[in-house]
Amino acid sequence: METKDSFQEDLDDEELQELVLEAQREALAKAAEEKNHPRTYRPFPRWTFWVMAITLALSTFAIIFQIFSIPAIEFLKTSSELSKNPQVALYKEAVVVVSTGDSKGTGFSINESGTILTNYHVIEGNETVMISFPEGDMYKGTVTRTFRNIDLAVVEVRDEHLPHLKLADRTHFTDHEPITFIGNPLSFSGIANKGHVLNYIQLPDWERPVVMIKAPVYRGNSGSPVINAKGEVIGVIFATLNEEQHGKVGLFIPIDAYYDEIENM
């Protein structure tokens, strides 16, 4: 559920205009030089041009289709609607991008000093990672604890008064209880979405059961907090599964599992 880093810096109107003007100046200078020093070129086969043009068009279309597919557009619309809720907007401030250089995932702060909870598979093989908060603050985080058996990890960034989420005392839910989750799916960041809880499921090679949710979970949602109606985190998303009865479902690690590992250290 990890994706390649896709951080892009937005340009304002003045910067974009300056880039266009600079390109125009370079083009005019090049045209003047070629006029004074004409070159002799071999004829360029027209069929080669069309092959290159078609290949470029197909590649561009494939990228656009992946990023702006119908499901992606739908969860962007859902995120926009959910984010109008002041409480959801507040939750988003505590959800971070966890970057290891060649991939990214999600994490969230659980106290004001910057303790970040995420998945083990998001940080696997790294002692330090980059942590990016939505407001633009970036930190070099240190991996301090790993719980490979339940796919969780703790990263510390060491600061003060950071936004954070409240963990539930235990994982408790009712059948089809609505939940909200926030993460960095596909090439996007800070996407809020919703779904409902189904039930526990026991996975092969796992000591304890995890929880299924019916929700649009994608690559990059690893480490997303699952938040109940009280604003408490009841679990951490880590995978998806094609389940026989419910089809594609998201899976989250109950917050109880995290408490148990802490107590057993």
pLDDT above 90: residue 16: no
Retrieve residue 248's tokens.
């594609």
What one-character DSSP code corresponds to residue 148? G
Instruction: Give residue 36's pLDDT.
Output: 59
Give the gyration radius of the chain's Cα atoms.
23
Q: What is the pTM of this model?
A: 0.74
Res. 143: pLDDT tops 80: yes
Question: Parallel, antiparallel, or unpaired: how do β-strands 232-243 and 166-167 relate?
Answer: parallel
Q: Please, which pLDDT band fits residue 129 given cuts at 50, 70 and 90?
A: very high
Nearest to 97 by CA among 72, 44, 134: 134
Burial class (CB in 10 A: 0-12, 13-18, 19+), 231: middle
Which two structure tokens, joined as six digits, stand for 53? 């043009």
Return the bridge partners of 239, or none. 251
* Position with higher pLDDT, 122 vs 44: 122
Q: Are 248 and 148 within 8 A, CB to CB?
A: no
What pLDDT, in 10s, does the model give residues 152-205? 999 999 899 999 999 999 999 999 999 999 999 988 899 999 999 999 999 998
H or E stretch at 124: none
DSSP run (H or E) holding 29: helix 13-36
Among the residue ranges 42-46, 128-132, 172-176, 183-187, the one predicted with the least confidence is: 42-46
178 phi and psi, to 5 degrees? -70, 145
Pairwise pLDDT comparison (153 vs 45), residue with the higher score = 153
pLDDT bracket for residue 14 (50, 70, 90)? very low
Alpha carbon 71 to chain centroid, angstroms: 15
Higher per-residue confidence, 67 vs 228: 228
C-alpha angle 119-200-79 in degrees, rounded to nearest 5: 55
pLDDT digits (tens, 9 = 90+) for 103-112: 899 999 999 9
Distance between CA atoms of 229 and 244, rounded to whole angstroms?
28
pLDDT computed for residue 30 by the predictor: 57
What would the two tokens of residue 24 be? Answer: 């125009």
Please name the residue that has the structure tokens 């899976």.
251
